Chains A and B, each alone.
Chain A
């Protein structure tokens, strides 16, 4: 049985592929948003002097970083209903990915907070700001600029992780790739094109985010 590379047969699926890619980006963006909330809260726990808060943060990070995202995804989608928590496919995946991202982002934000010299925080206290005011008006803005490059990298990782959504039949790019693979049997073409689409998207995001970073950098 001879096999001739023929991209023509795949061509008509490209719009569908692009939609799937878009869904992946949306899932990643939403998860990044919730993950950042988790990350910021836990980062403040991690640097706090309260032992309990500190342990909770480091425990969370250890657990979430050492469990496969796929297990977490299945846990949230198939497991949580046993506990009476019913989420849609998309919601449960975003939930899982946000929890997962939260662990990585805690580390990012913790490092970002630590890199702020204590003098700046003390200066805030010295002019009479309350603790939460120091956090909101001093620590957070400085930290965000410090961690922008890591945030970009995390977003790209999250985007790649959205391929796991295919495992719970969310119709994103990897899911479509498997589907078209089964329909057309154009194994080589499908996976080459889909791999290329992921790659181009990742490098494009990296490029765009680098532009934004440069704009926001403290001169």
Chain B
């Protein structure tokens, strides 16, 4: 069977793989963004002692390869679940590991974005009688979002790329399904190129949506 015929024949398998790549990435994007915003706010405005555990989380994660985080999370959770009599679906370990990893990066992005906002903005919010929560919500976060959008998009691309690591713990995402197809049909050269192009398309699509969003929400700030 030639390459294109085999691709057509394996349509459903590939689509399942694509779905697992996209869903694990989406979950990781959602979780890491929520975690990152929360932790980033704490690192930017929290008191010195409260900050310590969050600082440690960020610095530890940034010093460890993503793959090691994937294996660690997978084996730790799996080990713990086994001891109470459950089996761990690799998919769950996978998106959790991606979230743990990306969460540290989003945290740094959010912290950096918040701290780059001039202090006068907080003063101005206070001066019209706003409470800190209101200042955060109406003044700081909208401005931080504009500043953190480019690095956040970067992180999303890293998450999508990172989801390929989940193949190594047995998540049937794009790369693993590709490997299964190669085992069946051979032709590794074309298959890996093909799957590479799929990743490329996903990420370029994310990038162009991001560029559009940057323009849309940047009004007043990116003059």
Contacts and interface: CB of A to CB of B under 8 A. Distances in A.
Do chains A and B directly touch (beta carbons under 8 Å) in the complex? yes
Interface string B181-219: 010000111111101100110011001000000000000
Nearest to A185: B79
A199 B167 CA distance: 24
Interface in A55-76: 62-63, 65-72, 74-75
Contacts of A194: 68
Interface in B32-91: 60, 62-69, 71-72, 75-76, 79, 83
Given A71-B199, A79-B189, A163 B83 contact: no
Contacts of A202: 62-64
A67 B200 contact: yes
B135 to A, nearest CB: 34
A98 B50 CA distance: 41
B192 A79 contact: yes
Given A1-B83, A82-B188, A187-B76, A67 B161 contact: yes
Nearest to B163: A68
A36 B157 CA distance: 23
B192 A167 contact: no
Contact of B75 (A70, A162, A191): A191
A188 interface: yes
B63 A66 contact: no
Contact of A71 (B66, B190, B192): B192
Contact of B64 (A82, A160, A178): A160
B162 interface: yes
A78 B188 contact: yes
A198 interface: yes
Interface of A: 1, 3, 62-63, 65-72, 74-75, 78-83, 160-164, 166-167, 174, 177-178, 181, 187-188, 191, 194-195, 198-200, 202-203
17 contacts: A3-B79, A62-B204, A66-B200, A68-B161, A68-B165, A79-B190, A163-B66, A163-B68, A178-B71, A188-B76, A191-B75, A194-B68, A195-B64, A195-B69, A195-B72, A198-B63, A202-B62
